[in-house]
Amino acid sequence: MSNDALSNAHKFIPAAPGDSRSPCPALNALANHGHLPRNGKHITAPQLIHALRSVYHLSLPLATILTIGGTTMCGNGWALDLEDLAKHDKIEHDASLTHADAPEGNIYAPIPVDKSLLQDMLDTSSGDYLTLDDLVKTRVSRDETLVHPLNSKLTTIARGEVALTVEMFGDAEGRVSKEFVRQWFGEQRLPVGWVRPKKNIGLIATNNNVKHVGQLCAQLAEAKKNA
């Protein structure tokens, strides 16, 4: 386990009643470990940028772009409550990997993890790890449930969620431990035994990885269509 996870200041404490949480496991985990305000409320852009950089080792440009996008589209431009990120079709989108779609007409999407969707993702592999191809299979399967295709912005976000999961939690071979997936997606915690990536997760590399995920999704969707 990382030193941060072992320290009292950053021990895992699940959200209490009244705490604000989002559909994003990355930010919920940061709040549950005290890297962001534990109540999830009035989180400022600098706090978000610092937490993303120090815990997940995102580069300053990438952390800044993700943060400003979130605070601008969902907050007041400078700060937000985590639940603001559940505003439907802002950053949150239908066909999430582990969250149910927003009911028709609802402004906010469901925040609790859908355990059946999480299990579906885990079941794409019979072993102890999920590969990039496994996560792409899950992404394409969820895309198939869409009544209306995601717009280009939300499609990029959906592909980015797959890319960043592998970048942050993948081993030297790019495999993601199922136990890490269960804890991060399912329990909203930094997985026991995980340490942040040694290599900085940069904007250019992530953008290229998002494009690669998109190509793999398109290839799989086409193969399934022609099968």
> What are the extents of the domains in the chain?
3-226
Q: Within 13 Å and on the Cβ side, how many CA atoms surround 33?
A: 27
Q: Residue range 105-116: average pLDDT?
A: 97
Contact 5, 33 (CB under 8 A): yes
What pTM, to 2 d.p., does this model score? 0.95
Q: What pLDDT, on the 0 to 100 scale, is given for residue 5?
A: 45
**Fold classification of 3-226 (topology level):** Chloroperoxidase (1.10.489)
Count the residues in the chain: 227
Distances (CA, A) of 222 to 121, 139, 142, 155, 226: 20, 14, 15, 17, 6
Q: What pLDDT, on the 0 to 100 scale, is given for residue 42?
A: 98
Strands 176-177 and 129-130: antiparallel
Per-residue tokens: 172: 């030297």
